[in-house]
Structure 1
């Protein structure tokens, strides 16, 4: 029986192939060959290219959101949390360039079935953490009383645009080179 290491190899090969060739042009054969696994191993874990694409997407979202939630839970003051979240976002993107590119290009396009449910659960869990963080800092008087959705858009929107530009170009400055500016601008927008 194929192991979870085999599954991980297949997912990593799929991500590399999707980024290199695009999802539409990627074939299961190319992914299987890159992963150096048999057809049986590939189909043991994934029924088709769509299920493999969904696994790559879901694992990327979960990895990113789990780390982001940890930043909100660990940081002390509101400004420190803003800096920690932005640093995490920029560093995660730099460390996971292919994964970030895939998530950015694929986006959430109305996935169906089980994936939609799992993505909704991940989003709900993250927003619960964000909401608790916002309530705490609004009560302390350090954040403006705005909705968690607006906080997320204000906190991550500019960083995401910066990262997308970097992902699309090999010549752009690394996102982390803009960290201090992003923290200053974001903090001005959110602080009470």
Structure 2
């Protein structure tokens, strides 16, 4: 990588880091050109050069955090030999990620992410295909072996992630009736039972 390319990547990273900081401190409405350039120390021209717009920057930030979450989830199932241990590991990895990365997790579970997801679902899925395929393939092997109920993959995804996402959203919203450690102990087995043939 040339020094110019390296500087370009560093600038893009500074902008992405600044965008998350501004989003965490001020919410979606606070993510303005002025706030981003002030927090990052990067010029307006550089922001537009790297991302095209504030929306382009926020989309890239969302993809960055989605990629990180999916990487953690994929790694959790790759280390598992059975469907049961894989589901347990995946649920725990998701909840651990939320607890360790609350700012990124708030973005991933935000109304902004929901709007983008509804508008660009196929593009988002295609952009993350390399991370999604191993998890889908892993699950399909366990469906084929009879270890997991023969349901359509979107329903399996809903059974596994639905309770986890709902719990994460509640915790991220600041409700004090949600304990992620307790959820990590209780949810994996309950979710597994929903998948048993």
TM-score by length of 1: 0.86
- Count of aligned pairs: 191
Unaligned runs of 5+ in 2: none
1:107 corresponds to: 113
CA offset at residue 160 of structure 1?
0.6
Structure 2: distance between partners of 1:110 and 1:47: 17
Q: Does 1:136 align with 2:135?
A: no
Unaligned runs of 5+ in 1: none
1:160 corresponds to: 165
Q: Which among 13, 19, 22 is matched to residue 17 of structure 1?
A: 22
CA offset at residue 135 of structure 1?
2.5
Tell me whether 99-108 or 120-129 shows the greater mean CA deviation.
120-129
> Over the residues paired in the alignment, what is the CA RMSD in angstroms?
2.4
1:177 corresponds to: 182
CA offset at residue 134 of structure 1?
2.6
Tell me whether 141-150 or 154-163 shows the greater mean CA deviation.
141-150
Q: Which among 136, 140, 151 is matched to residue 146 of structure 1?
A: 151
SS at match of 2:99: helix
Structure 2: distance between partners of 1:127 and 1:58: 13
TM-score by length of 2: 0.84
Tell me whether 142-151 or 79-88 shows the greater mean CA deviation.
142-151
CA offset at residue 27 of structure 1?
1.2
Q: Which among 94, 99, 108 is matched to residue 94 of structure 1?
A: 99
CA offset at residue 111 of structure 1?
6.6
Structure 2: distance between partners of 1:91 and 1:125: 22
